[in-house]
């Protein structure tokens, strides 16, 4: 926020804690162009997932200011709250409130594992703003652009510096509980126990067989798993775990969902779906602007579908959206070793800047700005 204020940008914070920094254009009646991503991370997250998109938007705006480029539309940099959904599930919650996928009450009422409310935490850290967190159709958005690392190995293997994102695959999240009976680990013979762990073993095997049966584009992840009360010499009374399933095709995702529910039901596990983010397709004109910018600056690109969820998914419900990917080393993300080279970051920032200039209808954009060199 200090960097944005130094550039003379006007800062507002919305009711979900998302931060906006606005550079005024010449015509306040025109729709704003938004660009950004998120600054929250994962338990062992790296320095690029989210941060890249916010800083690159700031750098692009900085460049427009440095070059004295006049433009008619306002530009707004945005950092969305809680994209990751680690402490407060689900993911993309503030952009979801903005895009109308969730109500404001739902967003603020998310609770963490200790029962603490997101809305209360925003107040406690001084981040509960007063700007409406919900998109207002009377203030339309011309386009939303998000630069991000790919977070997988596809782009790096293609050898191309830029990914033009056609859309994002569908995601569903579940909380699963298997209930047994707590008892001492020693005295109770195996056949007299109600131990949820053998059920867990069968369930996991069935789930992984299921995802394999749905082909190479299907994904399943069990990322959180806990036995309660969590003592090595007590047979657990409950086992809880999470399921994340993904597929680019809505019909196959629905078949996977039915399989998850029937496998859990057959084995006596309680399964509740807590998040459903359908596959999305981004805006053709915004995609064309990204491709034109990449071509103008001489970067070959790959058209691709995003495996990860992004704030752009929910913003696309209310505005035309495009995303730009750059490769990350070995496709590793959600880990501290996440890395993209200065050259890769530079290419992404250049394509973001070039796309912004096109959408701003700035004449001779290519002549007015020299692409960044790292």
Phi, psi of 250 (to 5 degrees): -60, -35
Which one of 74-82, 83-91, 202-210, 366-374 is the stretch in contact with ligand GLV (CB under 6 A)? 83-91
According to the 3-state scheme, what is the secondary structure of 308-359?
A: CCCHHHHHCCCCCEEEEEECCHHHCCCCCCCCCCHHHHHHHHHHHHHHHHHH
Q: Which does 91 bind (CB under 5 to 8 A by kind): ligand GLV, Mn ion, none?
A: ligand GLV
Query: Of 21, 207, 308, 326, which lies in the binding site for ligand GLV, with binding defined by CB under 6 A?
Result: 308
Q: Which does 338 bind (CB under 5 to 8 A by kind): Mn ion, ligand GLV, none?
A: none
Query: Minimum distance between the CB of residue 221 and ligand GLV, rounded to whole angstroms?
Result: 9
Q: How far apart are CA 315 and CA 371, in angstroms?
A: 28
Q: Which does 309 bind (CB under 5 to 8 A by kind): ligand GLV, Mn ion, none?
A: ligand GLV
Binding to ligand GLV in span 105-124, by CB under 6 A: none
Query: Of 9, 51, 58, 91, which lies in the binding site for ligand GLV, with binding defined by CB under 6 A?
Result: 91
Total of chain residues touching ligand GLV, rule CB under 6 A:
5
Query: Minimum distance between the CB of residue 20 and Mn ion, rounded to whole angstroms?
Result: 18
Run of H or E including 95: helix 93-99
According to DSSP, residue 117 is labeled: B
Q: Which is nearer to ligand GLV, 59 or 83 (CB)?
A: 83
Question: Which residue, among 6, 35, 95, has the nearest Cα to 349 in the 3D structure?
Answer: 35
Helix (H/G/I), strand (E/B), else coil: 48: coil
CA dihedral for 171, 260, 85, 344, sign (positive or negative):
negative
Q: Which does 50 bind (CB under 5 to 8 A by kind): Mn ion, ligand GLV, none?
A: Mn ion
Structure tokens at 189: 């013979």
Residue 346's alpha-carbon distances to 24, 55, 140, 241, 320, in angstroms, are 25, 12, 30, 40, 24
Q: Which is nearer to ligand GLV, 91 or 324 (CB)?
A: 91
Q: Which is nearer to ligand GLV, 83 or 259 (CB)?
A: 83
Is the bond leading into 347 cis (omega within 30 degrees of zero)? no
Q: Which is nearer to Mn ion, 279 or 309 (CB)?
A: 309
Q: Which is nearer to ligand GLV, 91 or 323 (CB)?
A: 91
Q: Which is nearer to ligand GLV, 142 or 148 (CB)?
A: 148
Helix (H/G/I), strand (E/B), else coil: 186: coil
Residue the block writes with tokens 């689900």 = 90
Query: Minimum distance between the CB of residue 5 and Mn ion, rounded to whole angstroms?
Result: 25
Q: Which does 76 bind (CB under 5 to 8 A by kind): ligand GLV, Mn ion, none?
A: none
Query: Minimum distance between the CB of residue 308 and ligand GLV, rounded to whole angstroms?
Result: 4
84 binds ligand GLV (CB under 6 A): yes
Please measure the distance between the N-terminal and C-terminal CA atoms of the chain and give it in whole angstroms.
Answer: 23
Query: Minimum distance between the CB of residue 49 and ligand GLV, rounded to whole angstroms?
Result: 8
Q: Which is nearer to Mn ion, 285 or 335 (CB)?
A: 335
36 binds ligand GLV (CB under 6 A): no
Q: Which does 180 bind (CB under 5 to 8 A by kind): ligand GLV, Mn ion, none?
A: none
Q: Report the alpha-carbon angle 82-88-89, nearest 5.
A: 95
Q: Which is nearer to ligand GLV, 206 or 334 (CB)?
A: 334
Pairing of strands 225-228, 321-326: unpaired
Question: Which residue, among 112, 271, 273, 245, has the nearest Cα to 177 in the 3D structure?
Answer: 271
Q: Which is nearer to ligand GLV, 33 or 313 (CB)?
A: 313
309 binds ligand GLV (CB under 6 A): yes
Footprint of Mn ion (CB under 5 A) = 49-50
Question: Which residue, among 269, 215, 268, 271, has the nearest Cα to 246 in the 3D structure?
Answer: 215
90 binds ligand GLV (CB under 6 A): no
Which residues sit at the interface with ligand GLV, rule CB under 6 A? 83-84, 91, 308-309
């Amino acid at each position: 926020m200090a960097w944005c204020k130094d550039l003379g940008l006007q800062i507002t914070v919305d009711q979900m804690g998302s931060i906006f920094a606005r550079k005024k254009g010449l015509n306040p009646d025109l729709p704003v162009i938004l660009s950004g991503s998120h600054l929250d991370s994962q338990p062992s997250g790296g320095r690029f997932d989210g941060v890249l998109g916010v800083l690159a938007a700031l750098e692009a705006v900085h460049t427009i200011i440095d070059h004295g480029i006049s433009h008619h539309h306002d530009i707004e940099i945005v950092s969305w709250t809680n994209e990751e959904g680690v402490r407060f599930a689900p993911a993309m919650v503030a952009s979801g409130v903005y895009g109308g996928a969730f109500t404001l009450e739902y967003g603020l009422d998310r609770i963490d594992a200790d029962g603490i409310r997101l809305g209360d935490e925003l107040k406690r850290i001084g981040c509960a703003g007063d700007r409406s967190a919900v998109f207002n159709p009377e203030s339309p958005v011309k386009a939303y652009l998000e630069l991000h690392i790919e977070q997988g190995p596809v782009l790096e293997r293609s050898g191309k510096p830029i990914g033009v994102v056609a859309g994002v695959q569908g995601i569903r999240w579940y909380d699963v509980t298997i209930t047994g009976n707590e008892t001492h680990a020693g005295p109770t013979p195996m056949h007299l126990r109600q131990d949820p762990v053998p059920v867990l073993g069968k369930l996991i095997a069935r789930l992984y067989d299921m995802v394999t049966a749905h082909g190479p584009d299907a994904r399943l992840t069990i990322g959180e798993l806990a036995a309660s009360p969590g003592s090595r010499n007590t047979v657990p009374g409950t086992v809880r775990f999470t399921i994340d399933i993904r597929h680019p095709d809505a019909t196959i995702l629905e078949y996977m969902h039915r399989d998850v529910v029937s496998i859990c039901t057959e084995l006596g596990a309680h399964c509740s779906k807590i998040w459903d983010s359908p596959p999305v397709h981004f805006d053709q004109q915004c995609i064309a602007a990204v491709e034109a910018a990449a071509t103008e600056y001489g970067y070959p690109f790959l058209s691709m579908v995003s495996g990860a969820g992004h704030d752009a998914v929910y913003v696309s419900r209310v505005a035309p959206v495009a995303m730009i990917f750059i490769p990350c080393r070995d496709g590793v993300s959600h880990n501290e070793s996440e890395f993209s080279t200065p050259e890769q970051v530079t290419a992404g920032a250049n394509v973001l800047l070039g796309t912004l200039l096109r959408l701003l209808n700035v004449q001779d954009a290519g002549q007015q700005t020299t692409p960044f060199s790292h």
